[in-house]
Amino acid sequence: MTNLWKAYTTQKSNAKRRNKGFNLTYNQWLSIWEASEKLSSRGRCVGQYCMCRIGDVGSYEIGNVFIGTVSDNVATGNLGKVMSDETKELIGKSKLGKSRPDVVLKHGKPVVQLDYNDVLIKQYRSAGEASRETNIAQSSITLVCQAIRKTAGRFNWNYAIS
């Protein structure tokens, strides 16, 4: 199975799981991506691109989809949504007592990017900076630094030793 076929089937099954129609064949899906010239930049991180529905409504189908940034897609999907006081309270309660290292460590910890042989590629001021420069999710980089994951973006990562 090719990576593109896997991406197509994943998007199709995710749409089904979210009760959104998906009426694109693989060839139609691929031609939309190729026409956008953003196929090599597709993903789920900030700065990457995804297939969006116009107004975030209707099915994924010819005439109702376009390629846009992940950030724009999230913003469009939340446009006009108002949270009830009950929802706000539930979100607040769910965050009570949870660690917020991003607030405590305003500048983050320096991290190093390593190849598979643990040869230094580059040092960054923080996992956030590394994420912005490499388009690898900050959470993935942090999980590798914490020895919870083995790699992120096919690289090894560690906190830099001062």
Q: Range of 137's domain?
A: 101-159
- Determine, yes or no, domain membership for 27: yes
Q: Are 71 and 38 in the same domain? A: yes
- Amino acid letter, residue 28: Q
What pLDDT was estimated at residue 24? Answer: 94
Q: Which of 78, 109, 130 is the last residue of a domain?
A: 78
pTM: 0.49
Q: Which residues contact 33 (CB under 8 A, 6 or more apart)?
A: 39, 42, 51, 67
Q: Are 71 and 106 in the same domain? A: no
Q: Which of 78, 93, 122 is the last residue of a domain?
A: 78
Q: Are 149 and 112 in the same domain? A: yes
For the chain, the domain total comes to: 2
- Starting at the edge strand that comes first in sequence, how are the strands of the sheet with 120-124 ordered? 120-124, 111-114, 156-159
- Domain CATH number, residue 135: 1.10.10.10
- Determine, yes or no, domain membership for 94: no
What pLDDT was estimated at residue 104? Answer: 45
Q: Are 61 and 28 in the same domain? A: yes
pLDDT per residue rounded down to tens, the chain (162 residues):
568 999 999 999 999 998 999 999 999 999 999 999 998 888 888 788 999 888 778 899 999 988 988 887 777 666 666 778 888 788 788 877 766 555 444 567 899 999 988 899 999 989 999 999 999 999 999 999 999 999 999 999 999 886
Q: Which of 14, 45, 78 is the last residue of a domain?
A: 78
Q: Are 12 and 68 in the same domain? A: yes
What pLDDT was estimated at residue 132? Answer: 92
Q: Are 71 and 136 in the same domain? A: no
Closest by alpha carbon to 65, among 42, 36, 37?
36
Q: What is the CA radius of gyration of the chain?
A: 19
| Main-chain phi, psi angles of 5, to 5 degrees | -60, -40
Q: Are 25 and 57 in the same domain? A: yes
Residues paired with 69 in a beta bridge: 49
Environment class of 87 (CB within 10 Å of its CB; exposed 0-12, middle 13-18, buried 19+): exposed
- Determine, yes or no, domain membership for 89: no
- Determine, yes or no, domain membership for 42: yes
- Amino acid letter, residue 141: I
